[in-house]
Each structure stands twice: as structure tokens, then as C-alpha cells.
Chain A
């Protein structure tokens, strides 16, 4: 396994994950928009937020790719199916921990406790991101399995 490849492969895998999410959005399957959620940390304008958020997302993807590469190194092997399994775990953590927690720190995501004084504009994702559409968990799982599989394949091949 080529440890040094994680940076480039992380970018590729994150791009693939983003592509799955955008395709699902365009197909009307989910309203989950990670670049928008991340980008609205820095700007209110949805278009600018998506642009900024895409790069934030790439950065976050790199950090996770490092974790995948480290896990493969610990296990002594990289494989597409192992990456897929890690992707499943990653999706589970994202849906149950990371996305719901966003409303606690994100200045523009309201929480379910928001009251009359709230000026936050983005609705909270809720458990499993279900507020963004009933098929959001499914899309998230697919996107992360694609991410993990891509990393497993690329790191195995390198």
C-alpha cells in the first residue's frame, strides 16, 4: 500500500462522494447538501456557500482519507470491500453523530429548540438527516460506501 497516495486518493474519493450527493439531489432524492451546509459556516449566500463549502468538504474528506489510510495500514492491507465496510461505519457515524450535532455549532442551522428570536435560516437535519428527505440515510450510506470503496481500490492498487 502506498501511504503517500492518501492525499491524492482522498481528493478523488471525496469528489466521487460529492458527485453521488449532487446526483441524488438533482434526481430529487434528498435535500442533503453538504457543501451548502459547510459553506454557510462562512457565508449566507447559497451559491457562494456551495463554492466555499466544496473546498471545506474536500479538506474534511482528506482528513477522513487519512483515517482510512491509517486503518488500512494498521490492518496491513487495503481492499475495496474493506473500504466499503469502513464507508458503512463512516456513514453511520455521520448520520447519527456528525450531521445532527451540526446544529449545535453551526450559526445558520436552527435547532429543534429554536424560538422566536432565532435568525438561523437552515432547517436542522434531524436524526439520520431525515428532515432532508426520507431517503437521505440511504443516499448518505451509498455515498460513503462509494468513498470507502474508492479509497480501498486506489490504495490497494498503489
Chain B
């Protein structure tokens, strides 16, 4: 029986990430990157897909988790078990900062310590690389177990020495004052770097101090600051440091409905989701992270511009063709397990709006765009001006015929509006090309106004007084909660208020939860859970439209829904409150930060004045 998704915790090094179950079993790890092949794939591949357990010995009922948390302001995970022999603590992390030192590119460090008396522990190391879940070649070199397969090798070293056997549990006695430290090194197309346990532990501690320094200085006035910090750390851990690409989640095929077919591969970078992250990082003063995203976007989209791809690999390539893996049982029987993502081929208009809004946020924050960056943004705006009349797949990537999604049109409006703002901001430096620029701006302005008229004419249900999911539809879409943030209408306008209230009513999923659209209305069999980012968007929308008390109450309730270690998936089962979908999900964490920032801003006395100037 698989643990609930929310019972997993993530270890990460900003290049890849592992998921750890409460019993100390790493059930998911891809190397050398987020989108690499799984070495431990039990999460969706069954027991034959490999795992790495370090935890109390004995059957499941013979120990219990007393506490599980990340150490404050760090990526180091601590699990404390109560066992018959006493308590046992597992402290673990992946080392992010390896550059400039002779350390393996991927280094996982796990330390077991007994607090009172000696405790029996189990070490089970069972790597099964790739979709084929093949058994690697195993050798013992000195005291080190080395598992290798073409191109890759993984070394396991324990101190005090333990002879680790691949695929066979080894029982170890952990004495108080003599912790067991296990270091796992991965080499991908390079020689293995062996590290002693002491070196590995020192690297973990140095990383922990670096993360604590990274968190220092973040606004003390943020509501639920600890949760905001956890979200920011999660967003940073999901950003691939070699390129600056943020992945949506480190997993594939965790189901949106247990036993269902809505199982997708999220180990890629969606420019849309990433742009939301830019706002989150900028809002807390992490400008470097925001700028790195724009640099990645500029480089990654080079081959596709002026079209904006829906998603890309961390290196800016097209993802591999989506395929269903036969023989993998899936999480709790949720098949198929997919690698690759076919949404890459879709036309989604809304992405342009998110990206241009991120560019505007950077510009507005004083980070002028390089000329090439501006050319790319202007090209995106031209694409929107030329294509906004076409149907698209929309933010929810519905697989089937396109539609005129109102949210997509709103985001197209946003794209053109932000392009105009940036152009006006840059204006004085571009006088020599004044006429051409003025004509281009005039076209954007014309198309933006035509879009606003079209949305109001065809995307608004006059009878209910609400904007709709798509032209001619009476349904609602929780993505419309962006309305108060755009500036197309005043944030407190009756149309926005009515739409927000109608979404709260029609898409209500119990408690603070919302469905993204009426469940099951996406052409796929089965249903899905409530969509967590939408609830945070609702809190943000309420704060932005002057309903601070409601926003705060909702935010408080949403924070209660976090996993035991403060993480969120994409969705949640409204009945059981179990998390659903890939985990942890960057979009949910970015939405949490954005909601917290909106509430913080709404509390400022000068907020009302700033808001009214934005609306003008």
C-alpha cells in the first residue's frame, strides 16, 4: 500500500530531487537531472522499480513517526521515530553546492542517530535504473558498493562500515553517540567521486548554513512566514541551477484522481508557471532568481520565437514524445505511467500573458531588459496580436478541439498591455526608430482594445453578471480569478466581484477548496480533485479587490492543508483531503507566495492609493 502523496518529503540539490516516505524509503530519484531516468522508481513503478530505505528495523507497526520536519530555513529533513529500543533520528539532504570542490555532482547524505539506547535499523539499497527497471552491475570496491550501468555509476558508503548488499536489507545496530552516516554519490558520464562520511556530512552542514543565509532578510511581516519560506525554498529547489529552468514538479504520473488516467509528466519547465514564480521571487526581494528565469527563457526559446513553447526541458529542448510505460503499476494502481508530455504540441495563448507580465514586473522593479530580451518580448506580443482570434487549448491544457477560453483572451489582453507598458518605459531610449515603434505600439493598443471589447461582448454572461469559461458557455473557470490583478477593469468593479463570488459558489469543493472547472468537463473519463493553486488565487483575488478579511481567513485555512512538512501537490481530494497529482508542485507554492504577498500588500496603509493608480 503506497503512502499518501502528502506523506512524502522532498530532498533536492537544485539539479534533481528525491521523495522520501515516512518510513525512510526514497521511492523516487531521477539522475542526473529532474528529467533523467529514475534510479529509484517505486513511487509509480512498483517494488521492482527500486528504492533506498534507511530507517527502523521491523515491520511497519513496530515503530511510529514522532516528528518529521525540515530543519528551520533549510532543505535538511529530519525524521524521528519511536521504536521499541528507543528513538531513532534520520537527518538527510542532497548537497546543492558542489561547484569548485571535488564532490560528486549528485550527493545524497543520510545520518541515523539513536538518542537513548541502541536501536536496530534497516538499510535497503535497491537501484533499478530506467524504465526497464534493470538490475545494475554490482561490485564491492573496498568498503564501497558500486552499482553501475552504461554511462552511470552510484556508490554507497557507510560509516561505521556496513557491507551494503544491493536489493537485500541489511540490519544495523545504531548506538547512541555513534551515528551511522551513509553517503550516496552519483556519477553520470564522469568518474565517480568517493567521499568519506565526514566530508559528506560537512557538505550537508555547509549547505544548510547557505540555505539559512538565503532565507535571512525575507520580509518578517509576511503572513505565515514559515510557510512562505518553505514555498520559496521549494521553488528554488525545483529550479535547475545549471540553466535557471524551473520544473513544475520532480515527479511523473502521480494521479489527479487515484486509480484514474490523469497522470502526467511534470518534470519540465512551463514558461507560464515559471513566470508566476518570477512574481513570487521579486515580491520577496530575490531578484537574482527572477532574472535567471528571464535569462533561461531568452536562451531556451531561441529556436521557437516568436512562438512561445508551452513547455521545454531544463535545457530548452522539446520534451521526448509522450509515451505510456507498460508494466509499471502506477501510484496506487493509477495507470498509465507516462514519460514525456504531449501538451508541448498545444497552442496556449495565456502563456504569453504570464511571460510578458513577468518581464513587466522585472522592468518595473528597475531591472531594464536587454535589447535582445525586449525583441523577444515584442515578438511574443506580435504573435498575440496576430493570433488572439484563434481558439486555443487554454491554461488547463484540455486535450481535444480548441476553444475560445476567456482566461486565454484575458491573458492575451495582459500580454499586449504589458508590452505597451514596457515599450513606454523604454520609449525615450528608442527615439531614432520612433515611427516604427510607434506603429507597433499602436497596433498592440488597437488589438488590446479589440480584445477587451471581444471579451466583454462574448465572454461575459450578462444574465449572471459573470465572465465565463469560454465564449458561449455558461460554465465558470477558476483561472478567471486573475481578473483583479490585470488592470483591465478596476479591481473592485461589480463584474469582478460577481465573478469571484460565482466561482466561489459554483466551483466550491468543500472548505477552502475549489475545482478549476466543473469536475470531469475536460473530455477525459473520470474526475479529479480540487485544484489547490485556484484556492490561493482566490485568496490573492480577494486581497487585491479589497476583501482582506475574507482573504486572510481563506489563506489561514489553506495553510492548514499543507503536508506534514509544509508541501503541496497540485490537487486535493475534497472528501479525504489527501493530496493528488505531482508532488511537490511549483505552481501551488508560487500561488501561496503570491497570495501571502497580496495579503501583506493589502495590509499596508498606502495600498489603496497604489491600487487606484494601477487601475488608471
Contacts and interface: CB of A to CB of B under 8 A. Distances in A.
B96 A121 contact: no
A121 B242 CA distance: 8
Contacts of B189: 127
Contacts, number: 87
Interface stretch (A88-96, A110-118, A146-154): A110-118
A2 B97 CA distance: 54
Interface of B: 13-15, 32, 96-99, 105, 189, 210-211, 214, 236, 241-244, 288, 291-292, 295-296, 298-300, 302-304, 315-317, 370-373
Contacts of A116: 14, 96-97, 210-211, 214, 236, 241
A59 interface: no
A47 B97 contact: no
A131 B315 contact: yes
Contacts of A45: 370-371
Given A45-B370, A118-B241, A112 B32 contact: yes
Contact of B302 (A25, A110, A126): A25
Given A25-B302, A31-B299, A118 B317 contact: no
Contacts of A122: 295, 299
Contacts of A31: 299, 302-303, 316
Residue of A47, A110, A112, A131 ringed by the most chain B CB atoms within 10 A: A112
A19 interface: no
Nearest to A112: B242
Judged by DSSP, the binding face of A is loop
Contacts of A25: 302
Given A123-B243, A123-B296, A126-B315, A115 B98 contact: yes
A107 interface: no
A67 interface: no
B97 to A, nearest CB: 4
A76 interface: no
Closest 10 CB pairs of A and B: A123-B243, A115-B97, A121-B295, A114-B241, A115-B96, A46-B372, A131-B315, A31-B302, A114-B242, A110-B242
Given A45-B370, A114-B242, A133-B303, 5 more contacts: A28-B303, A110-B241, A116-B214, A124-B242, A126-B315
A46 B316 contact: no
12 contacts: A30-B303, A45-B370, A46-B370, A47-B372, A113-B105, A114-B99, A115-B13, A116-B241, A118-B241, A118-B242, A131-B316, A133-B303
Contacts of A42: none
Residue of A28, A31, A113, A131 ringed by the most chain B CB atoms within 10 A: A113
Nearest to B233: A116
Contact of A115 (B241, B300, B315, B370): B241
A20 B189 CA distance: 31
Contacts of B99: 111, 113-115, 117-118
A110 B243 contact: yes
Residue of B211, B241, B291 ringed by the most chain A CB atoms within 10 A: B241
Contacts of B243: 110, 123-124, 131
Given A47-B372, A121-B244, A123-B243, A113 B98 contact: yes
A158 interface: no
A123 B370 contact: no
Contacts of B373: 46
